[in-house]
Amino acid sequence: MDERQIISNFNYLIAQNVKKYNLKEKGDKIKLNPFYIGEKATDSRLGFNITTDIGCIHSDLVYTTGILFTLRPYINNPLQETVYVKAKEFSTYRQNMYDSLYGMYASICFEKLYNFWDRIGDKIANEFPDKFTNSRAIMFANVIESLKSDFQTDRNIKWLIDFKDSDFKDFNDKRKVVVHYEHIETKYKEAILDNFGNMDKIKEIFEEKSTLPEFFKKHIELTNEGIEKTYDFVKKRR
């Protein structure tokens, strides 16, 4: 088997798991019609590029989440990898390749998910050139917050506000730890080793780590809604 066939087989495996775990993309109509570039968008080329980015990033997130589901059955399970010392059970952590890859792709998922919402912020801000004059200061959370008072009755902005204050905040708090303070592999390795004699705590740690695919699946579903809400909001501005 040559390298191209190995890559093709890998891609097929991921695609099968994307389908198996129902990791759907619902932005096809938007990819074909980039958010109906609004009349007040100062730069239609930028608007088109941002929309193209959103589609690509969304596909990346779905694919990398599919990789997490694929790797999960083979990662280290500290509840099963134990030793007994003086009749007491202790967990071990001799990391295997699958576990290391799992951590790497989980980190990528955090980055992709943040990047997605960052570009949603860019897309909306591009409709309000007078309000968002500093491109370096545009982020999803502050864009939505800035529009709250002017569009408080708009159902699309209301959904985005509620999301910003709940699921986005929860996700972003987790992301900040991974990006700015501690790599995800380090986080779980340290937690397991610090509690290697406390099997109840080890179970709790492993539960959090092993359910990361479901965490990102939930957020894929939220990105699907976010695309639709943003699409409807921008479309109304035509």
Spatial CB neighbours of 29, under 8 Å, sequence gap ≥ 6: none
Domain boundaries, the chain: 3-236
SS3 annotation, 19-45: HHCCCCCCCHHHHHCCCCCCCCCCCHH
Mean pLDDT of the chain: 89
Could you tell me the two tokens for 73? 């059955």
- The pTM of this model reads 0.91
Q: Give the 3-state secondary structure of residue 192.
A: helix
pLDDT in tens, 12-63: 999 999 999 999 877 666 666 656 666 566 677 788 888 889 989 999 999 9
Q: What is the dihedral of CA 219, 69, 62, 108, to 10 degrees?
A: 80
| pLDDT value at residue 225 | 93
Q: Give the span between the Cα atoms of 115 and 69, in whole angstroms.
A: 21
Average pLDDT over residues 81-96: 77
| pLDDT value at residue 41 | 66
Q: Is the dihedral of CA 144, 149, 155, 159 positive or negative?
A: positive
Average pLDDT over residues 74-93: 80
Q: Give the span between the Cα atoms of 163 and 219, in whole angstroms.
A: 11
